[in-house]
DNA sequence: ACGGTATTTCTAGAATATTCGAAATAGTAT
DNA sequence: ATACTATTTCGAATATTCTAGAAATACCGT
């Protein structure tokens, strides 16, 4: 994980339509959902849906598997976990809580 | 937490400059950083920085406290936690893993 | 009051993202 | 081959976001 990939993933999920798609896939779990199912549930034009799916796949948040003429989409949980870990990395580094406001702490 | 707030937070962090600002504040921890410090470390023009900070504060990811003529900025961890929880909500709902690929599981 | 430092607002150009109809492609079934 | 279904690409209009200089505001020290 790096800054650019993390930003890309976050930006993809930062759009309401794509967030809805992603959450739908998170709910669906391992079996995933095909594109027509997503379309039916979210009521988005096919070309718009294709545009957003391309983004999610490009960011590595969703994977696709061709099954005949349908495409099964699945949320890629590890990718999101990587982003979250990255966001929390080095949290409070250089901040020693023992040195902060000792009086205030003693008072509580 | 709801779809719109989550999308807003994710979109804010989906920009490289804002992601850098946010991570800087996550590292800084509870003491936070004032705006000039952020500016010095990230080398961003003041007006650009103000623009991005407004976004992060608006999304609730960062809080600001005026201290004399400086403004101390702090990452709001709870907000991000809320977004992450929202993203994982209802994961694999309606998917019963006991019913899936029993042969494959027996084989491993 | 004045000078200096910190930060924000204004502005407008440039860049990027979003939408979706129509046309194209791919795969299945008859 | 033809018809049908699933999905993608193209293209162009529209909308949103980003950037940063210049001007404005706010607050402190003298």
Amino acid B98: pLDDT: 79
Q: How many CB atoms lie within 10 A of CB A38?
A: 21
CA angle B12, B16, B19 (to 5 degrees): 55
Taking an 8 Å cut-off on Cβ atoms, the answer to whether A30 and B92 are in contact is yes
Taking an 8 Å cut-off on Cβ atoms, the answer to whether A97 and B30 are in contact is yes
Task: Tell me the domains of chain A and their CATH numbers.
Answer: 3-88 (1.10.10.10)
Amino acid A102: pLDDT: 56
Question: pLDDT band for position A97 (50/70/90)?
Answer: confident
To the nearest whole number, what is the mean pLDDT of chain A?
Answer: 92
Mean pLDDT (whole number) for B49-71:
97
Question: pLDDT band for position B101 (50/70/90)?
Answer: low
Convert the pLDDT of each residue in A24-50 to its tens digit: 999 999 999 999 999 999 999 999 999
- On the question of pLDDT at B92 being above 80, the answer is yes
CA A52, C1' C21: Å apart?
A: 17
Q: Which residues on chain B are in Cβ contact (under 8 Å) with A9?
A: 14
- What DSSP line would sit under B13-70, residue for residue? HTSHHHHHHHHHHHHH-TT-EEHHHHHHHHT--HHHHHHHHHHHHHTTSEEEEEETTE
CA A98, C1' C21: Å apart?
A: 63
Mean pLDDT (whole number) for A76-102:
88
Amino acid A107: pLDDT: 41
* Alpha helices, DSSP H, located in A14-63: 16-28, 35-42, 46-58
Q: Which residues on chain A are in Cβ contact (under 8 Å) with B93?
A: 27, 29
Question: pLDDT band for position A101 (50/70/90)?
Answer: low
Helix orientation angle between A16-28 and B77-88, rounded to the nearest 10 degrees = 50
Taking an 8 Å cut-off on Cβ atoms, the answer to whether B94 and A14 are in contact is no
User: CB distance from B27 to chain A under 8 Å?
Assistant: yes
């Amino acid at each position: 994980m790096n800054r650019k990939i993390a930003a890309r993933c976050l930006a993809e999920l930062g759009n309401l339509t794509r967030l809805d798609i992603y959450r739908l896939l998170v709910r669906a779990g391992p079996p995933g959902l095909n594109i027509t199912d997503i379309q039916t549930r979210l009521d988005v034009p096919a070309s718009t849906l294709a545009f957003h799916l391309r983004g999610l796949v490009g960011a590595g948040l969703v994977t696709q598997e061709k099954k005949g003429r349908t495409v099964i989409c699945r949320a890629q949980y590890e990718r999101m976990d990587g982003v979250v870990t990255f966001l929390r990395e080095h949290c409070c580094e250089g901040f020693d809580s023992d040195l902060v406001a000792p009086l205030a702490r003693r008072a509580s």
